Amino acid sequence: MTTGTGSSGLTWAQLRDLNCAELEGAADGWGKASNRADAGRDRIEKQLLNGLRETQQGAAADAAVSRLRQLSRNLQYVYTECGLVRTTLNSLAHEMKAQQRALRDALEDAQALRFTVHADGSVTYPEAGEGLVDGRPLAGGTASAKGAPGLLPPSGLVAPNPNTAKAQDIADRVAKAVRTAAEVDWRFARILRKLKAEEGLKVPDRTWTDAAGDAAVVRDVAGGYLKSGIPYDASPAARREWWARLTDEQREEYLAVYPDLIGNLDGIPALVRDTANRDNLQLLIGKLEGQDGERAETRLAGLREIDRQLQAGRQPPMYLLGIGDEGNGRAIVSYGNPDTARNVSAYVPGLNTSLDADFAKNDLKRARDTAIGMQQHDRSSAAIVWLGYDAPQSPDGWDGLDVMGDERAEKGGAAFHQFMGGISATNENEDPHMTAIGHSYGSRTVGAATQRGGGIPGVDDIVLVGSPGVGVDSAEELGVGKEHVFVGAAENDVVTKLPSKQQSAVGAAGMAVAGPAAAYLLGEIADQEDDELWFGQDPASEAFGARRFPVGDGPRLVGGQGLSIDAHSQYFDPDRDASSANSIALVAAGQSRRLKAEEYR
């Protein structure tokens, strides 16, 4: 039927009588299918695969593990796509209900005024008012959303019928509700037609690329339905309470449609973030596989390596607390559950760190080594690596140290402060022991986090290794008491000897131009009574006032194999520097009283 709004087949009577409960019921059905797929995947990951790894070996067991992994991947795709269909239907119902409310309000106004709304949307109104000449009531008429009312417009000598404008308003509102509902219907029909998978028993990589596109489309249409409810501006504690108050169905929809937002929202429980981020990891891989260029390849290498480690099921168990491709990439991984552990450490990496294969192999290993070391002292421990900011990137490695300004540390410090607030809010222990660990430029970022209101939430101890300074002049300024600040500085670590930017213009220029060798030599010949480094007071100096622990000297910068900065990268490695790795683990496990002391510089 043609209405006053154009050629749409939808009438106001059809919109009025539309049963949105049926759409919501269909959405519930898709939700149940999504949940069954998720339960199947969970059983494979937590029971079947673990059982096979622990009890079976050989070619047959390997083949079974491979098939189970493929089945788990397929079920993950089913979970994602069914969840997208559910949210699409719920979003459709949500938008249709809004137009039904607008229509109902217009019809109720017409009824109250005793107007008649016809099938085509036009509105007839009765006589009213008084004529200027004879005082008789002015004739009624019909208003249409097409524009002019049914009667001729007043000449200016005759007062208008007061019902005319009211009828016109009602006709316009009816037409707008019908027109908008028709647009919503067509928009969602196009989306639902796209939500279909290839036939077959295997979900190839290109299917995840399509799924990433599907998710992006559904997120756009679900903005008013779901996204607007996420408490971005709330505190981590308030976000935790928000999540706890949601119904199971609401949580499922958020996880299906916005795994990227929920997975990276500080204050959401670790198990939930892990679930969301594992799904978002697959969507990110699919998204980047559809792109060309070095940046996409670099990110993909890092994401795939993280995915490989997650699938391997090694101990301590991994929890993916954050993942994203913004900036230089984001990745937050915990070894051990940070919500249940009595001891939690969070390590912030530094210069040249980004989401790539090197980070996924080496920085994740540092956190895992720390977790293993912590658990040797207290089984209830978890260690996190936090790449939640854009660390400075020097295209020539350690050359051009002028890139190491304060801006990224300040921004990163704000993000790390928020993250630790979330970890503190979700930990289930009454008084958990938490440690912030900063390596290299990451120590400057940790230093920046301490200067925000109240210091770093929940943090009891701070460990600084390979530090070029933290932006303050004394350990006391870091907010935990100088006896709770610990420093490791290898004798041959060039970064811990970078002279201050103020020492001399020649020194600064030499570091920027000549690279690490010049920086090392400048550090060696700098005024020994001046403990200033690139970012302020040397944390390993007596003037700073922290507790220095022993570490290995590390390889010399200039040796038989040429230049080496390996002394800067082995603090966490129990094989290359057992003393340093164990010292870090002792502090992080709350056993700093057992720490050996090292002389100040």
pLDDT (tens digit per residue) in 308-330: 999 887 899 999 999 999 999 99
Report the distance separating Cα 367 and Cα 582, nearest Å. 13
CA 409 to chain CA centroid, nearest Å? 19
- What are the start-end ranges of the H helices in 44-161? 49-55, 59-112
Query: What is the distance in angstroms between the CA of the first residue and the CA of the last residue of the chain?
Result: 88
**What is the residue whose two structure tokens read 């002391």?**
597
Cβ neighbourhood burial of 270 (10 Å; 0-12, 13-18, 19+): buried
Q: What pLDDT score was predicted for residue 71?
A: 83
Report the distance separating Cα 485 and Cα 548, nearest Å. 9
Q: What pLDDT score was predicted for residue 543?
A: 93
The dihedrals phi and psi of 455, each to the nearest 5 degrees, come to 75, -175
Half-sphere exposure of 185 (CA within 13 A, CB side): 15
CA 360 to chain CA centroid, nearest Å? 18
Whole-number average pLDDT of the chain? 84
Query: CB neighbours (10 Å) of residue 502?
Result: 12
Instruction: Name which of 111, 84, 311, 308 is nearest 208 in CA terms.
Output: 84
Whether the per-residue pLDDT at 47 is higher than 80: the answer is: no
Which tens digit of pLDDT belongs to each residue from 253-285?
Answer: 888 888 899 999 999 999 999 999 998 998 899
Instruction: Name which of 397, 383, 288, 400 is nearest 338 in CA terms.
Output: 383
Which tens digit of pLDDT belongs to each residue from 367-395?
Answer: 999 999 999 999 999 999 999 999 988 75
Instruction: Name which of 33, 31, 75 is nearest 203 in CA terms.
Output: 75
Where is 175: in which H helix or E strand? helix 162-194
Q: What pLDDT score was predicted for residue 223?
A: 64
Report the distance separating Cα 426 and Cα 369, nearest Å. 24
Cβ neighbourhood burial of 529 (10 Å; 0-12, 13-18, 19+): exposed
Residues 6+ apart with CB under 8 A from 5: 121, 145, 175, 176, 178, 179, 182
Which tens digit of pLDDT belongs to each residue from 158-216?
Answer: 457 889 889 999 999 999 999 999 988 888 888 887 777 666 656 666 666 666 777 77
- Asked if 421 and 445 count as a contact pair (C-beta separation under 8 A), the reply is no
Q: What pLDDT score was predicted for residue 399?
A: 47
Structure tokens at 237: 């504690």
Whether the per-residue pLDDT at 564 is higher than 70: the answer is: no
Whether the per-residue pLDDT at 588 is higher than 90: the answer is: yes
Report the distance separating Cα 150 and Cα 122, nearest Å. 9
CA 403 to chain CA centroid, nearest Å? 26
Report the distance separating Cα 252 and Cα 246, nearest Å. 10
Q: How confident is the model at residue 526 (pLDDT cuts 50, 70, 90)?
A: very low
Burial 89-104 (b: 16+ CB within 10 A, else e): bbbbbbbbeebbebbe
34 or 202, greater pLDDT = 34
Q: What pLDDT score was predicted for residue 312?
A: 84
123 or 600, greater pLDDT = 123
Structure tokens at 441: 């430029």
Which tens digit of pLDDT belongs to each residue from 412-453?
Answer: 999 999 999 999 999 999 999 999 999 999 999 999 999 998
- Asked if 294 and 356 count as a contact pair (C-beta separation under 8 A), the reply is no
Task: Write down how long the chain is.
Answer: 601
The dihedrals phi and psi of 157, each to the nearest 5 degrees, come to -95, -10
Q: Is-above-0.75 flag for pTM? A: yes
Which tens digit of pLDDT belongs to each residue from 70-89?
Answer: 787 788 888 888 888 888 88
Q: What pLDDT score was predicted for residue 507?
A: 45
Report the distance separating Cα 486 and Cα 490, nearest Å. 14
The dihedrals phi and psi of 564, each to the nearest 5 degrees, come to -145, 135
Instruction: Name which of 132, 270, 280, 108 is nearest 211 in CA terms.
Output: 280
Report the distance separating Cα 484 and Cα 76, nearest Å. 44
Residues 6+ apart with CB under 8 A from 574: 369, 372, 373, 581, 582
The strand pairing partners of 386, in sequence order, are 332
Q: What pLDDT score was predicted for residue 83?
A: 82
The dihedrals phi and psi of 25, each to the nearest 5 degrees, come to -65, -40
Q: What pLDDT score was predicted for residue 283?
A: 87
Which tens digit of pLDDT belongs to each residue from 465-478?
Answer: 999 899 999 999 99
Where is 344: in which H helix or E strand? strand 343-348
Whether the per-residue pLDDT at 111 is higher than 90: the answer is: yes
- Asked if 558 and 547 count as a contact pair (C-beta separation under 8 A), the reply is no
Which tens digit of pLDDT belongs to each residue from 550-559?
Answer: 999 877 776 5
Q: What pLDDT score was predicted for residue 208?
A: 64
Look at 53-57, 95-99, 587-591 and tell me which has the smallest mean pLDDT. 53-57
Q: What pLDDT score was predicted for residue 513?
A: 40
Q: What pLDDT score was predicted for residue 341?
A: 98
For β-strands 547-548 and 485-488, DSSP reports them as: parallel
**What is the residue whose two structure tokens read 């596109």?**
213
Query: CB neighbours (10 Å) of residue 14?
Result: 14
Whether the per-residue pLDDT at 549 is higher than 80: the answer is: yes
Q: How confident is the model at residue 411 (pLDDT cuts 50, 70, 90)?
A: very high
Give the angle 235-238-242 at the CA atoms, nearest 5°: 135
137 or 408, greater pLDDT = 408
* String of DSSP letters for 266-328: TTS-HHHHHHHHHHHHHHHHHHHHT--SHHHHHHHHHHHHHHHHHHHT-SSPEEEEEEE-STT
Percent above pLDDT 70 for the chain: 83
Whether the per-residue pLDDT at 398 is higher than 50: the answer is: no
Give the angle 436-440-445 at the CA atoms, nearest 5°: 50
